[in-house]
Chains A and B, each alone.
Chain A
Amino acid sequence: MSDQARILKFQIFRYNPLKPGDKPRMVTYEVTEAPGMTIFIALNEIREEQDPSLQFDFVCRAGICGSCGMVVNGRPDLACRTLTSKFADGEIKLLPLPGFELIGDLSVNTGKFMRSMSERVESWIHDTTADEVNFDKLEERMDPDLADKIYELERCVECGCCVSACATKRMRPDFLSAVGFMRLARYTLDPRDKRTDEEYYEIMGDDDGVFGCMTLLGCEDYCPKDLPHQTQIAYLRRKMALVR
């Protein structure tokens, strides 16, 4: 790395819907690059030193919690783990994730979307005996490889990048999206969940569900956790097609 620090140019979407008269616009900020700088570090620096009104969301800043999804130079991604050194020309354009309610600037309400997704897919183990389980006794056994497979599908952090990258979602506002399909795939794999295929069909067996997917697979391309969306959507479709 050369000793001469670069000046990064951030173009950031600004709009506060709660501020009377405010209009959407792009604003440019300059930041001196530091070694190992991430977009998390740069945005905080801009807020602290240049514009204290700038809104964005970070929580874990380690790529674990999924709070900081935003569109970085055209790609939905986790901003906290995106190094500024990745961009050769030092120009970084940041937009809020589309497909979610805008809170302000780069902050969107993914929480509201994800809670309603969870309610819609009934994102919990369906087993009437789960609450009566005698936890003094040995737990129910599970095949070790199956446990690993379930974990594989449970690595989703609900960042919303798949929703923003989804062309079907753009056309169908109520489209369940990859995050919902991944959750369903996780439960269909889990023997603790006693739901039948018919019950899953009620949740996703229509055009707002798995049959609406146009298979453009933005979800697969942009998932920050590299989850196997393509395979799982195909799997669910086949499974649902066999129901009726």
Chain B
Amino acid sequence: MKVIYTDSLVIGGGLAGLRVAIAAKQRGYESIILSLIPAKRSHSAAAQGGMQASLGACVKGNGDDEDVHFSDTVKGSDWGCDQDVARMFVNTAPKAIRQLSAWGVPWSRVQGGDRDVIINGEKVTITENHEAQGLITARDFGGTKKWRTCFTSDGTGHTMLYAMDNKAIQMEIPVHERKEAIALIHEDGVCHGAVVRDLITGELIAYVAKATTIATGGYGRLYSVSTNAVISEGIGTAIALETGVATLGNMEAVQFHPTAIVPVGILTTEGCRGDGGLLLDKDGYRFMPDYEPEKKELASRDVVSRRMTEHMRKGKGVSSRYGDHLWLDITLLGRKHIEKNLREVKEICEYFLGIDPVKEYIPVRPTQHYSMGGVRTRATGESPTLKGLFSAGEAACWDMHGFNRLGGNSVAETVVAGMIVGEYVADHCAANALKISTSTIEHFMKAEEKKITELLVRDYGENPFELKVAMQKIMMDKVGIFRNGEDLAQAVEELKVLNQRAKNIALRNKISSSNPELVEAIRVPKMIKMAQCVAYGAQLRTESRGAHAREDYPERNDRDWLKRTLTTWTDDSADLPEVSYEDLDVMKMELPPGSRGYGVDNTVHHPDTPKRLSQVEEIQKANPSANRHEMQELLNPLTIPEKFKGKNERIGRGYK
């Protein structure tokens, strides 16, 4: 039995995982990162448009601060997020971006003086402040009051990931590539590491650690068409689920991005619309102002995706052999701008569509994009039910996004969560000794060995590729942008059948070393369970909140549903997960529930909402001289690691 010991085991080598490992290593704890692929190829690299941080240096960002970012994030989440976490996040994001700047990210900078931009379809000249010359600039994104999304052209994720991985290399943090964690090792409510399969040799290795962090990204590939990388299959989250002890949060919260190209589903960044691009229908008509007169194309993602779908249902879509789509028009931005700030988009259009977006419209359609749900954690990043198990980034339901994430908040979350959770991982390593008996390790290793052997010896059975396609189709057709009780009930039943069939997979290629079919056979049953969590959670949640839109329950219902979905799978032979809920406490909210400002507000309010609103008002009245930092302390006192407590400086404003 091969066993590798370390202090901090991190599963996943994207931005979040790397940053957690760096934090633990900085505090003197050995870290090992496991990755399916070389770390620099992680899906973080695909984040194009940018990272939100309220630096407020560009002229359209003036007046921005943590409070504005906080309010945008909470509204964006449709009040589904954990406001403590959102607060920690917005306060730390400016530090994260500045640290990354010192570590080498070539953030685009403010150029003082006049420049032409496109706002609401019109060319406008704005004048950047000369005092801000050379500071990090920002672009506009959906659902934000200020221009807050910092960027490097449209390769932001790439430059951030490269800087982060380079930092990890400098710190001599090993990344064990082509390794897949297939089960967690745990006993009596404590996680001790993972059983890991070497994807080249097929060898099983036990990685034993004081702290184990899941940072494996989202589960977009549960759907047939997704902007996600092909490795975003949610396996890290699934192995947490399979412990039967760890809980998953808000699995039904799945975001669809408005502008992925048709048919392959590759993303074109929100920066296209942030920089002035428009959405047009089959008549070349700009329809978004009719639906959302205020924010238009730059409404929150969930809203734009639904409006686009509504418009196509009215027969206004462009028909194609791949079904209806709409147009994204960036021609009005001009060649110079596109070739400088949207060059990945241009390359994608050229290679995959054979068009030049400088002159032609881009065919787009809302497509699965982001998983708000994931491993439920406390604000520290630790699972509330499985000690020593942490999670960060898209894999986690740390819960700063609630039911809808704002564009630019995902890469920001990966780094900020990495910083904060990384500190708590280090604290955990400091406070805990590694206590595990080798027989426990052996028990988990044997169990996985047995499963693999069964797969390799079974003569006849199901084809894992076919099961996956069937699952993806169910999710696509019945658990999509708009949902209803009937479709969801069918999806839940059909997935149950797939779950049973997945217990009888047989392989054609019966070798235990490098074998893509075996990899699929190990993953597909896990993916089906994850799909069941999403579909069942969606069926039970009889309201519409953020990206979870029920046609049969169109109102946001705070009275009955201001709560987080928790999913566990305690009995492996069961054909459905167990679902419970935890309330969000309105009386502790810094920003009590209100309207997001889209469409008609038909919210069913929580009885505590008026109480909390008047309480907040009283606190404000009673402390007329409190500045915004003091007021935040009064409304939402926070525990935040010491090193992130400082106030953030801004140009022309100091630390106010």
A: residues with CB less than 8 A from B are: 16, 18-19, 35-36, 38, 47-48, 51-55, 57-67, 81, 83, 103-104, 107, 110-112, 114-115, 118-119, 122-125, 127, 130-131, 133, 135-144, 147-148, 150-151, 154-155, 157-158, 190, 192-193
Interface residues of B in 563-594 (CB under 8 A from A): none
Measured CA separation A36–B508 after assembly (Å): 30
A57 to B, closest residue via Cβ = B37
| Given pairs A59-B231, A67-B38, A154-B159, 19 additional interface contacts (CB within 8 A) | A16-B514, A18-B514, A38-B264, A59-B37, A59-B41, A59-B43, A62-B348, A62-B352, A65-B229, A83-B354, A111-B37, A111-B38, A115-B169, A118-B165, A143-B134, A151-B155, A154-B162, A158-B40, A192-B102
Q: Could you say which residues of chain A place their CB within 8 Å of the CB of B201?
A: 18
Q: Supply 24 A–B pairs (Cβ within 8 Å), ascending by A.
A: A38-B352, A47-B465, A52-B516, A53-B509, A59-B37, A59-B41, A61-B266, A64-B158, A65-B46, A83-B351, A111-B41, A115-B169, A131-B26, A133-B98, A141-B133, A141-B135, A144-B133, A148-B106, A150-B106, A154-B155, A155-B155, A158-B40, A158-B41, A190-B104
User: Is the CB–CB distance between A61 and B514 below 8 Å?
Assistant: no
Give Cα distance in the complex from A142 to B104, angstroms: 12
* Cross-chain contact A151 with B103 (CB below 8 angstroms): no
B331, CB-defined interface residue at 8 Å: no
Residue in contact with B651 in the complex, picked from A16, A110, A138, A144, CB distance below 8 Å: A138
Contact status A139-B136, CB under 8 Å: yes
Q: Are A154 and B106 in contact (CB under 8 A)?
A: yes
B200 CB contacts on chain A under 8 angstroms: 18, 103
> Which B residue sits closest to A138, measured CB to CB?
B649
Whether a CB of chain A sits under 8 angstroms from the CB of B625 is: no
Q: Which residue of A lies closest to B419 (CB)?
A: A135
A111 touches B46 (CB 8 A): no
Nearest chain-B residue to A18 (Cβ)? B513
Pick from B40, B94, B649 the residue with the most CB of A within 10 Å: B40
Interface: B267 (CB within 8 A): yes
- B38 adjacent to A114 (CB under 8 Å): yes
Give the nearest-CB partner of B165 in chain A: A118
Chain A residues near B515: list those with CB within 8 A: 52-53
Closest to A1 in B: B321
Complex: A63 Cα to B517 Cα, angstroms: 25
Within the complex, the shortest CB–CB distance from A106 to chain B, in Å, comes to 11
Decide yes or no: A123 and B169 within 8 Å by CB, A59-B231, A111-B177, A141-B134 being known contacts.
yes
Chain A residues with CB under 8 A of B178: 103, 111
* Interface residue? B302 (CB, 8 A): no
Establish whether residues B649 and A60, one from each chain, have CB atoms under 8 Å apart when the complex forms.
no
Residues of B within 8 A of A154 (CB): 106, 152, 155, 158-159, 162
Contacts of A155 in B (CB 8 A): 155, 158
Task: Provide the bound-state CA to CA distance between A134 and B655, in Å.
Answer: 13
A147 in complex: contacting residue of B106, B229, B263, CB < 8 Å = B106
Given A124-B166, A157-B158 in contact, is the A135-B99 Cβ separation under 8 Å?
yes
* Partner pick for A151 among B98, B152, B508, CB 8 A cutoff: B152
Q: Assess the B106–A130 pair: CB atoms within 8 A.
A: no
Chain B residues lying within 8 Å of A65, measured Cβ to Cβ, are 40-43, 45-46, 229
- Find chain B residues with CB under 8 A from A118 CB: 165-166, 169
A144 touches B159 (CB 8 A): no
B646 at interface (Cβ–Cβ under 8 A)?
A: yes
Which residues of the partner chain A approach B513 to less than 8 Å between Cβ atoms?
16, 18-19
A-chain residues with CB within 8 Å of residue B106 when the two chains form the complex: 142, 147-148, 150-151, 154, 190
Shortest CB distance B301–A (Å): 19
Cβ contact within 8 Å between B162 and A139: no
A67 B37 Cβ-Cβ under 8 A:
yes
Contact B102 A133 (CB under 8 A): yes
What residues on B are CB-neighbors of A104 within 8 Å?
Answer: 514
Contact with A81, one of B43, B351, B520, B646 (Cβ below 8 angstroms): B351
Judge if B344 is at the interface, Cβ distance under 8 Å.
yes
Are the CB atoms of A147 and B177 closer together than 8 Å? no
Docked complex Cα distance between A194 and B516 (Å): 45
Residue of B nearest to A156 (CB): B162
Contact A136 B647 (CB under 8 A): yes
B509, A137: Cβ atoms under 8 Å?
no
Are the C-beta atoms of B40 and A53 separated by less than 8 Å?
no
Interchain CA distance A119-B46 in the complex, whole Å: 24
| B97 (CB) vs chain A CBs: closest residue | A139
Say yes or no: A147-B649 contact (C-beta < 8 A), given A125-B104, A141-B134: no
Q: How far is the CB of A141 from chain B (nearest CB, A)?
A: 3
Bound-state CA distance A151–B50 (Å) is 14
Least CB distance from B224 to A in Å reads 13
Q: Which residue of B lies closest to A111 (CB)?
A: B38
Minimal beta-carbon separation of B282 from chain A (angstroms): 20
* A147 with B648, Cβ < 8 A, contacts A18-B200, A19-B511, A55-B514 known: no
Q: How far is the CB of B204 from chain A (nearest CB, A)?
A: 15
**Chain A residues with CB under 8 A of B99:** 133, 135
Q: Which 5 A-B pairs have the closest CB atoms?
A: A141-B134, A111-B38, A52-B517, A136-B646, A150-B106
- With a CB–CB cut-off of 8 A, which chain A residues contact B103? 124-125, 130
Measured in the bound complex, the distance between the Cα atoms of B515 and A51 in whole Å is 11
- For the complex, give the distance between the alpha carbons of A67 and B314 in Å: 41
Question: In the complex, are the beta carbons of A62 and B46 less than 8 A apart?
Answer: yes
Task: Determine, out of B75-83, B108-116, B119-127, B534-542, the stretch whose residues face the partner at the interface.
Answer: B108-116
Q: Which residues of B contact A66 (CB under 8 A)?
A: 40-41
Q: Which residue of A lies closest to B267 (CB)?
A: A62
**In the complex, chain B residues whose CB is within 8 Å of the CB of A62:** 46, 266-267, 348, 352
B230, A58: Cβ atoms under 8 Å? yes
Nearest CB of chain B from residue A195's CB, rounded to whole Å = 13
Measured CA separation A148–B111 after assembly (Å): 12
- Are A36 and B263 in contact, with the CB atoms below 8 A? yes
Which of B347, B516, B648 is close to A53, meaning CB atoms less than 8 Å apart?
Answer: B516
Contacts of A125 in B (CB 8 A): 102-104, 166
Min CB distance, B563 to chain A, in Å? 36
Contacts of A148 in B (CB 8 A): 106, 108, 153, 340
B95 at interface by CB-CB < 8 Å: yes
Contacts of A52 in B (CB 8 A): 465, 507-509, 515-517, 520
Alpha-carbon separation in the docked complex, A130 to B111 (Å)? 25
Does the CB pair B38–A140 fall under 8 Å? no
Residue among B348, B354, B514 with the highest chain A CB neighbour number at 10 A: B514
Q: Is B167 an interface residue (CB 8 A)?
A: yes
Report if A64-B344 is in contact (Cβ < 8 Å); known contacts: A38-B352, A59-B231: yes
Contacting pair B135 A64 (CB below 8 A): no
Q: Is B627 an interface residue (CB 8 A)?
A: no
Kindly supply a per-residue 1/0 record for chain B positions 153-177, scoring 1 wherever the CB is within 8 Å of any chain A CB and 0 otherwise: 1010011001001110110000101
Question: Within the assembled complex, what's the spacing in Å between the Cα atoms of A54 and B515?
Answer: 8
Judged by a CB distance under 8 angstroms, whether B390 is at the interface is: no
Cα–Cα distance between A144 and B136 once the two chains are bound (Å): 9
Give Cα distance in the complex from A127 to B507, angstroms. 53
Q: A52-B465, A53-B516 are in contact. Are A192 and B45 (CB under 8 A)?
A: no
Contact between chains at A136 and B177 (CB < 8 Å): no
| Contact status B111-A144, CB under 8 Å | yes
Q: Say yes or no: A142-B41 contact (C-beta < 8 A), given A19-B511, A124-B169, A137-B649.
A: no
Determine whether the beta carbon of B109 is less than 8 Å from that of A136: no
Task: Report the bound CA distance from A61 to B134 in whole Å.
Answer: 35
Q: Is B101 an interface residue (CB 8 A)?
A: yes
Q: Across the two chains, which residue of chain B brings its CB closest to A61?
A: B230
Closest chain A residue, CB of each to CB of B510: A53
Known contacts: A64-B46, A81-B352, A147-B109. The answer to whether A55 contacts B516 by CB under 8 A is yes
Knowing A36-B264, A154-B106 are in contact, say whether A59-B230 is a contact too (CB < 8 A). yes
CA gap between A164 and B201 in the complex, in Å: 25
Known contacts: A61-B230, A64-B46, A147-B106. The answer to whether A115 contacts B175 by CB under 8 A is: yes
Q: Are A142 and B516 interface neighbours, CB within 8 A?
A: no
Would B98 and A139 count as touching, CB distance under 8 A?
A: yes
Taking the closest CB of chain B, its distance from the CB of A134, in whole angstroms, is 8
A-side contacts of B95, CB under 8 Å: 135-136
